[in-house]
């Protein structure tokens, strides 16, 4: 038996959040074509969570907002270009991935944002609600369907709007009933089941509706067992 030993960074000490934020800032600063809208919301969240670089968090939010389709007559109104270099909205899943972190930023750390960033984020959330609603997803497309449920519930909370809360709760019940009859019909355990657990975990942690929290907790147990 040959043992090859190395000392991981996690053993020598906690990762330096400032160094991580510096590394993540470079593609944003350079506006690289593959820069993803979801990465901009994630960066703004990380800055706010670390209580660092509010100016950079503001720039990331403004950039992400510029990638949102804000034409009311567009079929992808409220959705996002996936990458900075894309000419338009090409992947309708973008709004779901973007809102997962954007709503969490609003819920947990909006007080750490600059006034401009906070105003831009709120406007982006309001328009994204339309993008989330327009994104038709079937119950069998498990990871995106659950993300849509979580986003509807989260946006209702962020915007203090009962409409999407009712939509999200109804959609989650539909997923429960579908899954009781069919099981989990989408498989790719390293990726999709992780997204499923993220979405169900957010619902279980934050949803105001007790029934939605209970469904999410049951879903988490089912996925772990599966």
Residues 226 and 214: their CA atoms lie apart, in Å, by 18
User: What pLDDT, on the 0 to 100 scale, is given for residue 12?
Assistant: 57
Residue 13, pLDDT > 90, answer no
CB of 145 within 8 A of CB of 137? yes
Q: Is the pTM of this model over 0.85?
A: yes
**Tokens of residue 149, six digits:** 């449920």
User: Quick one: average pLDDT of 35-41?
Assistant: 98
Does pLDDT of 108 surpass 90? yes
Q: Hey, is 106 helix, strand or coil?
A: helix
Output the pLDDT for position 185. Answer: 86
Q: Residue 80 contacts by C-beta under 8 Å, 6 or more apart in sequence?
A: 37, 64, 67, 68, 69, 89, 94, 95, 98, 128, 131
Q: What rounded mean pLDDT belongs to the chain?
A: 93
Q: Can you tell me the mean pLDDT for 40-57?
A: 98
**pLDDT surpassing 50 at residue 6:** no
SS3 assignment, position 68: strand
The pLDDT of residue 15 is: 73
What is the distance between the alpha carbons of residues 81 and 38, in angstroms, rounded to a whole number? 10
């Amino acid at each position: 038996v040959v043992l090859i030993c190395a000392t991981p960074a996690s053993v020598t000490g906690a990762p330096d959040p400032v160094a991580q934020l510096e590394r993540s800032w470079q593609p944003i600063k350079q506006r690289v074509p593959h820069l993803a809208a979801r990465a901009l919301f994630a960066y703004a969240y990380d800055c706010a969570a670390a209580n660092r670089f509010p100016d950079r968090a503001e720039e990331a939010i403004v950039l992400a907002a510029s990638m949102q389709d804000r034409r009311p007559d567009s079929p992808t109104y409220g959705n996002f270009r996936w990458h900075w270099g894309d000419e338009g909205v090409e992947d309708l899943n973008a709004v779901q991935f973007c809102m997962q972190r954007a709503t969490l930023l609003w819920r947990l750390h909006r007080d750490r944002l600059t006034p401009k960033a906070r105003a831009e984020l709120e406007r982006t959330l309001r328009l994204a609600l339309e993008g989330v609603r327009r994104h038709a997803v079937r119950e069998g497309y498990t990871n995106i369907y659950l993300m849509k449920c979580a986003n509807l519930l989260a946006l209702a909370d962020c915007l203090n709007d009962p409409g999407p809360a009712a939509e999200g709760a109804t959609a989650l019940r539909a997923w429960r009933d579908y899954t009781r009859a069919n099981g989990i019909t989408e498989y790719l355990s390293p990726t999709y089941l992780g997204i499923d657990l993220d979405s169900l975990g957010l619902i279980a942690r934050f949803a105001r509706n007790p029934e939605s929290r209970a469904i999410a907790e049951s879903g988490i147990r089912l996925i772990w067992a599966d």
